[in-house]
Chains A and B, each alone.
Chain A
Amino acid sequence: MTRSRASGSLAFGAALVALVACFVSLEVWRDRVYGEPKPGDAVLYVRSGAAVRRMSLSFAPFVSDIYWVRAVQYYGATKLSNSPAKSYDLLYPLLDITTSVDPRFNIAYRFGAIFLAEGYPGGAGRPDLAVKLLQKGFRANPGKWQYLQDTGFVYYWWLGDYKKAAYWFDRAAAVEGAPWWLKSLAAVTLAQGGDRRSSRALWESLRETADNAWLRNNAAFRLQQLDALDAIDQLTAAVKTYEARTGARPASWAALVRARLLRGVPLDPTGTPFTLDPATGAVGLAPESRLNPLPTGQQAGPPAFPPAPAR
């Protein structure tokens, strides 16, 4: 009796496994024949942060986390998308809801502003919305001088408005507990706005003071871009020296190496070789370099980074 019951259970279990195998196989087959179903476009049914906050009841912090994860995933997926018509339309509403449901969500303001300000297609290309988000953050957390500092950064780096940048650094400096150097940063920005040296000072200050690895990495990335700009200036000077000596444009980096103007094929700070256009003599980043696109409007300062030779 017991044995027959055990064998019956075994047969039933095997039948269940067989059924699972069947429906999985059918799905695999259908996907192969008719193609895999495409994921739906991102949709935001409720756009009011206040409404979402009210509907969250006791679970507001957790609901804000869900919207934050959605914002990060949405930004990442859009950034990686190869679609020529890709759009970051939902990014600000997602960040707005995240910060309305949990107004103390520090990183949502600071990362969110970076996602929004970053130039299209790498980011939303909406520095105006980045400023709006940071202002909202400061209204909700009046002691957070970092939001005013970040506002200054957006004006400096993405909008090229050095006067406004200096104003926001100055306002950040006035907040209790803000570091002393923000005051001098405001003065330097006003005096040398657009100068690559002052940009370097800005990003170095952020790299040293950021309380988050992601913000530090972002500052380090911007510093690498500035290093690349310095290197391009030096390489352009070397190309001009070659032209002056030989009366012809170099066909490749090898020509400059042979002329002892370079020690090897120059690499950008990420280790990707710089490109040289033999027709125009223009030096630039390789299309595959992670540093693309380089910021515009950054005037050269004194050389700070000798291009690394190839090993």
Chain B
Amino acid sequence: MTAGRIGAVAVSVFRESVRDRVFYNLLLFAVVLVGASVLVGQMTAGQDIKIIKDLGLAATSLFGLFVAVFIGVGLVWKELERRSVYSLLAKPLRRTELVLGKYLGLALTLAVNVAVMAAVLYLVLAWMWWTSPENLRAAWEAPALDPALLVAFLLIYFQLLLVTAVALFFSTFSSPMLSAALTFGLYVIGHFNADLKHFESIVESKPIVWMLRGLYYLLPNLAPFDVAGEVVHGQAVAGGYVLMTIGYASVYIAFLLAAGAHIFARRDFK
């Protein structure tokens, strides 16, 4: 397995994203954010900065989710559908390298997407800061150009990387439609994990309680990646918490990629 071959696949996925006009969503993001920044001041009783931050973070997460799922589930499937997988695998390229390259290519696409969205949000916030009088600025819970917003963006990015890994994992053995449905399903369940851990208050059976607790640890837990509520209200997010959450995502992604690559390596394409 060489980094050069994985990198070549990753770059081709990124170029394909550009060709497929994936980055058009950035234009929509910018239009929504600028339009909202003009409108919200009239409708929100002075909460425009908070709302623009919330909107920016929510839109980054939502647009990223669609990119991660809809492109993620098609990464491997497209090669099979076009039958280009045969010519690819005829080259000195292992199936594992193909899966990893595909993943890293989409990770690069998402990185550019999230970085540009963060930049656009900061630009809009800078404009709002510049046009707001001093007494209004003093009433803001957190500064308009709060660097802590980057922590929220960072965790959104890692959440998207984890969702991408889930989508890619499913796409190694099922159809895009089913993969998308399963990924969205896990995304929703990933926000309700805490309930699985505390089922003893509802269910008496110990085995069921232990099984559900096992699911809590096994299924991806996505709720800890949401720190927008803290950041927007100017509350600090501990560095240790961020590192542990990123660590959790990294290990989970490694597991999914290893499992996905293993399944893909054993698939029979005849």
Same assembly: yes
Seen from chain A, the residues whose Cβ lies within 8 Å of a Cβ on chain B are 54, 57-62, 64-65, 68-69, 72-73, 102, 104, 106-107, 111, 211-214
CB distance from B189 to the nearest CB of A (A): 10
A61 contacts which chain B residues (CB < 8 A)?
A: 54, 57-58, 228-229, 232
Instruction: Give Cα A212–Cα B141 distance, bound, in whole angstroms.
Output: 10
Q: Are B226 and A60 in contact (CB under 8 A)?
A: yes
A211 contacts which chain B residues (CB < 8 A)?
A: 138-139
| Chain A, residue nearest B45 (CB) | A72
- Choose from B55, B58, B135 the contact partner of A213 (Cβ within 8 Å): B135
- Choose from A58, A107, A214 the contact partner of B58 (Cβ within 8 Å): A58
CB distance from A145 to the nearest CB of B (A): 16
CB distance from A308 to the nearest CB of B (A): 26
**In the assembled complex, B136 has its CB within 8 A of some CB on chain A:** yes
**In the assembled complex, B166 has its CB within 8 A of some CB on chain A:** no
Q: Are B46 and A107 in contact (CB under 8 A)?
A: yes
Answer whether A65 and B51 are a contact pair too, CB < 8 Å, given A212-B139, A214-B46: yes
- Choose from B55, B187, B225 the contact partner of A65 (Cβ within 8 Å): B55
Q: Are B192 and A54 in contact (CB under 8 A)?
A: yes
B139 contacts which chain A residues (CB < 8 A)?
A: 211-213
| Chain A, residue nearest B44 (CB) | A69
**In the assembled complex, B5 has its CB within 8 A of some CB on chain A:** no
Q: Are B222 and A104 in contact (CB under 8 A)?
A: no
10 A-B pairs whose Cβ atoms sit less than 8 Å apart in the complex? A57-B188, A57-B191, A58-B58, A58-B61, A61-B232, A65-B51, A69-B44, A72-B43, A72-B44, A106-B233
Q: Are B229 and A107 in contact (CB under 8 A)?
A: no
B235 contacts which chain A residues (CB < 8 A)?
A: 104
CB distance from B9 to the nearest CB of A (A): 30
A62-B55, A213-B46, A213-B139 provided; 17 other pairs, C-beta below 8 A?
A57-B191, A58-B226, A59-B58, A60-B228, A61-B228, A62-B51, A62-B54, A62-B58, A62-B228, A65-B47, A65-B54, A68-B44, A72-B44, A72-B45, A104-B235, A106-B233, A107-B45
- Choose from A57, A58, A106 the contact partner of B141 (Cβ within 8 Å): A106
Interface string of B221-240 (1 = CB under 8 A from A): 01001101100110100000
Q: Are B61 and A68 in contact (CB under 8 A)?
A: no
| Chain A, residue nearest B222 (CB) | A58
B159 contacts which chain A residues (CB < 8 A)?
A: 58
**Interface size classification for chain B:** 20 to 34
* Chain B binding surface, main DSSP class: helix
A64 contacts which chain B residues (CB < 8 A)?
A: 54
Q: Are A59 and B61 in contact (CB under 8 A)?
A: yes
Query: Considering the complex, which residues of chain B in the window 49-83 have a beta carbon less than 8 Å from any beta carbon of chain A?
Result: 50-51, 54-55, 57-58, 61-62
A57 contacts which chain B residues (CB < 8 A)?
A: 187-188, 191
CB distance from A277 to the nearest CB of B (A): 38
Q: Which of A58, A64, A102 has the most CB of B within 10 A?
A: A58
B47 contacts which chain A residues (CB < 8 A)?
A: 65, 68, 107
A73 contacts which chain B residues (CB < 8 A)?
A: 43
Q: Which 7 A-B pairs have the closest CB atoms?
A: A62-B58, A61-B54, A62-B54, A104-B233, A65-B51, A59-B58, A212-B139
Instruction: Give Cα A68–Cα B40 distance, bound, in whole angstroms.
Output: 11
CB distance from A7 to the nearest CB of B (A): 29
Q: Are A104 and B58 in contact (CB under 8 A)?
A: no
Instruction: Give Cα A54–Cα B57 distance, bound, in whole angstroms.
Output: 18
A68 contacts which chain B residues (CB < 8 A)?
A: 44, 47, 51
Q: Are A214 and B233 in contact (CB under 8 A)?
A: no
- Choose from B46, B62, B192, B222 the contact partner of A59 (Cβ within 8 Å): B62
| Chain B, residue nearest A57 (CB) | B191
| Chain A, residue nearest B133 (CB) | A213
Answer whether A213 and B136 are a contact pair too, CB < 8 Å, given A54-B192, A104-B233, A107-B45: yes
| Chain B, residue nearest A108 (CB) | B47
Q: Which of B138, B192, B232 has the most CB of A within 10 A?
A: B232
Q: Are B43 and A69 in contact (CB under 8 A)?
A: yes
CB distance from A250 to the nearest CB of B (A): 44
Query: Considering the complex, which residues of chain B in the window 107-156 have a beta carbon less than 8 Å from any beta carbon of chain A?
Result: 135-136, 138-139, 141
B228 contacts which chain A residues (CB < 8 A)?
A: 58, 60-62
- Choose from A58, A106, A111 the contact partner of B191 (Cβ within 8 Å): A58
Q: Are B46 and A212 in contact (CB under 8 A)?
A: yes
Instruction: Give Cα A64–Cα B228 distance, bound, in whole angstroms.
Output: 12
CB distance from B253 to the nearest CB of A (A): 18
A62 contacts which chain B residues (CB < 8 A)?
A: 51, 54-55, 57-58, 228
| Chain A, residue nearest B235 (CB) | A104
